[in-house]
Amino acid sequence: MTYPDWGEISGGHRIKGREIPMLAPDMPTFMGVPHARTTADLAGAGAVIIGAPYVANAGGRYAGVPATEWLAGPKRVRQQSARYPTGYIQDFDLDVFEHMKVVDFGDAEIPEDANFNPTADNILRAQAVVEAKVNAVLDAGAIPVVIGQNSPCGSYAIAKPIAERTKGLVGMVSLDTHWDSAAIDRLTQDPRIAGSGSWKAKTFEFHRNFSVPHLVEIGERGMLERKELVRGYLSRGAHFYPMWRVRTELGIEGLCNELRHAYEGSQAVYAHFDMDVMGGAGPAPGDLLGELAEPIGMTDFEAIRIAHEVGKRGLAGLSFICIAPGSAVIYRTIVYMILYLLAGRVLATRR
C-alpha cells in the first residue's frame, strides 16, 4: 500500500470542509494550530512545532529506503494530525489547547545540497538553520518540538542550544535502537559532524554539561553494539533499560519510575525519541524501517506513555527522528506522543 497524497487525505470525511491553516499546498499546520510566521508570533506559546526534513543519505537512499520517503516525514506527520479536530484528549478529559498555546513555526529551510550532496560544510549549514529556529523558540520561553528524520538536524541541533543555555547539568531521556555513539560520523568522516551514528557521543564530547549519569537510555537490544561501548557508558553512570529488561523485569510502570535519573540534580532535560525503537513491534510492520528494524521493538503505547511521563516531569526540548516512512498510523503515533506529552505538561502545571 502506498502512502496517499494530500488530495486524498484532505478529501476524507474527518477533514473535508474544515478550514485548516496551510504551510504549503500539501502541508497543513500541526493539528491546525496557528502558523507562526515570525518570531513575534511565538510570544506566549508553550510549545512550538518545527519541521527538520533532513536525511543523512548517500546515493539517494537511507537504510535501504528512498531518501524522499524519509524527507516527507515532517509533512506527513502534519497531514495525519489534521484528522484530529481539537486538542481534546478523552483519556484525560482535557483539551490541551485550552491550557497551552501551541503554534507551528514551519520547516527549517534545509539546503537541498545537505540532503543530496552531504558534505560536512553542507550538513553544518543545515544544522545551523535548525539551531536558529530552536533558539528563537527558547528565546520565547517555549518548548521546541522538532519533527526530523536524521542527525544532526533532528537531534544535536536541539541538544546544542539547550546545553549552551543551561548553566548546570543537562539530563537526557533517549529512546533508540542504537546508541549512536561512534567516534566519528560515518558519512563524512569529519570530527565536526554529530551524525546519525555519532550524535550522542558528540553531544557529550562537545558539551560537558550534558551529564552521562543523567542519561536515561531506553530501547536498545540484541547484538548490534560493541560491548566496550555499552560498558563504557555504564561505567560512566548511564542508566540503560534494554527492551528485554522492560519486558521481563520493569514493565512500563517500573520504566517510567526510572525516568527520575534524568531529573535528579539536573537543571534541564532534553527528550529525544528515535522512532526506530519501534522497529519490529508496534502498529506497523517493522520492515518499513529497512535495515534499521530489529525484533523486540517498543510498542506504540509504551512510546506514548513515556512521552506523557516526560511531559509531567518537564523538559527543555523534544525531538523525533527515524519515523518509519510510509505508514499513516506511525505518523499518527507521533501526533499522539506530542499531544500526550503536552497533556502531561498541562496536568503537572495545574496541580
Q: What is the DSSP string of 210-277?
A: EEEEEEEEE---TT-S-HHHHHHHHHTT-EEE-HHHIIIIIHHHHHHHHTHHHHTT-SEEEEEEEGGG
Gyration radius of the chain's alpha carbons: 19
Distance between CA 338 and CA 332 in Å, rounded? 10
Spatial contact of 150 and 54, defined as CB atoms under 8 Å apart? yes
Q: In the predicted model, what is the mean pLDDT of residues 173-202? A: 97
Any idea of the CA torsion for 21, 24, 29, 33, to the nearest 10 degrees? Answer: -30
Helix (H) / strand (E) element for 172: namely strand 170-175
Give the pLDDT score at 1: 52
For the cut 90, the answer to whether the pLDDT of residue 74 exceeds it is: yes
218 lies in some domain: yes
Give the pLDDT score at 288: 79
260 lies in some domain: yes
Which CATH number goes with the domain that contains 65? 3.40.800.10
Strands 317-321 and 143-148: parallel
The residue that leads in pLDDT, 232 or 2, is 232
1 lies in some domain: no
Note the pTM of the prediction, 2 decimals.
Answer: 0.97
Above pLDDT 70, what percent of the chain?
A: 97
Give the pLDDT score at 59: 78
114 lies in some domain: yes
Spatial contact of 52 and 153, defined as CB atoms under 8 Å apart? yes
* Interval 26-51: pLDDT, tens: 999 999 999 999 999 999 999 999 99
Distance between CA 160 and CA 150 in Å, rounded? 15
Mean of per-residue pLDDT scores for the chain: 95
Distance between CA 152 and CA 4 in Å, rounded? 29
* Interval 163-183: pLDDT, tens: 999 999 999 999 999 999 999
Spatial contact of 300 and 283, defined as CB atoms under 8 Å apart? yes
Nearest to 321 by CA among 182, 202, 152: 152
210 lies in some domain: yes
Q: Give how many domains the chain has, as a whole number.
A: 1
32 lies in some domain: yes
54 lies in some domain: yes
* Interval 210-254: pLDDT, tens: 999 999 999 999 999 999 999 999 999 999 999 999 999 999 999
Task: Give the domain range for residue 345.
Answer: 6-349
